[in-house]
Amino acid sequence: MDETLVHTPITGDLVKVLGVEPKTRYKAETFTQAFLKNNTPTHDTKSVLSHKAVILEYSKGKKKKLTRTKPKGINAHQKKELKIFHVKSEHQRYELFSPLHELWKQYIFDLCNGLNSKSSPDSVQKKLLKADFHGAIIIVIQSKCPSYVGASGIIIQEFKHVFKIITKQDRIKVIPKRNSIFKVEINGFISCIYGNKFEHRASERSAKKFKISGTIDL
């Protein structure tokens, strides 16, 4: 067989090709060059293959742990200075919070799957234990401080130890939960809130597990 020296399109070296016709050899070189040109990111094929590092094996390295800094909140003193929970005097009107009460009633109806004569009082009270009371109308029926007894209004803010309500006389009152008992009436259902057992924030109470024995103390 005839031996022919051919320039390889990749490295440019001379290699011996046995028994290859000149026309066939030309077509093969043309096809190879065109293929490499269309499938490599640069026209300099030799430079790409000679100088580019190719990872042939995956090496497991230690991954650096990303440390995420938690956003800093503001403390109680800063909240007081910024007056975050302060209700402006022009907003201290009972009628402005009446729509909030209507929304709260609808929220309770949906939470309890409707309130009717067939509803179980125990089931309703269990759901009220973890309910949000912003917008509820409460009445103080017992308190260590006699001046609080009989106070009634819409809860506009609930904190861990106190209820802040607005009365029909457009006055804002802060009622301590401790040593107080409150009454809530919802569509004929009357429930009592025992303040000593209710000293939790609304967000904390929704995730808390209550131990219920005998009568349900809210």
Confidence (pLDDT) at 106 = 92
The phi-psi region of residue 160 (left if phi > 0; otherwise alpha if psi is between -120 and 50; otherwise beta) is alpha
Q: Can you tell me the distance from the alpha carbon of 155 to that of 108, in angstroms, rounded to the nearest whole number?
A: 15
Find where tokens 């000679």 sit: 50
Structural domains in the chain? Answer: 3-51 (no CATH), 93-205 (2.30.30.210)
- Which residues face 143 on adjacent strands? 180
pTM of the shown model: 0.59
Q: Are 165 and 158 in contact (CB under 8 A)?
A: no
| pLDDT of the residue at 40 | 64
The pLDDT value recorded for residue 114 is 77
In angstroms, how far is the first alpha carbon of the chain from the final one?
Answer: 102
Q: Which of 131, 128, 134 is nearest to 154 (CA)?
A: 134
Q: Which pLDDT does position 58 carry in this prediction?
A: 57
Which value, in Å, is the radius of gyration of the alpha carbons in the chain? 39
Digit-by-digit pLDDT tens for the chain (218 residues) are 444 444 444 444 444 444 545 667 677 778 777 776 776 655 454 555 555 565 666 556 666 666 677 777 777 777 777 777 777 777 889 999 999 999 999 998 888 887 776 777 777 778 888 888 999 999 999 998 999 999 999 999 988 899 999 999 999 999 999 999 999 988 778 888 888 888 888 777 766 666 654 344 44
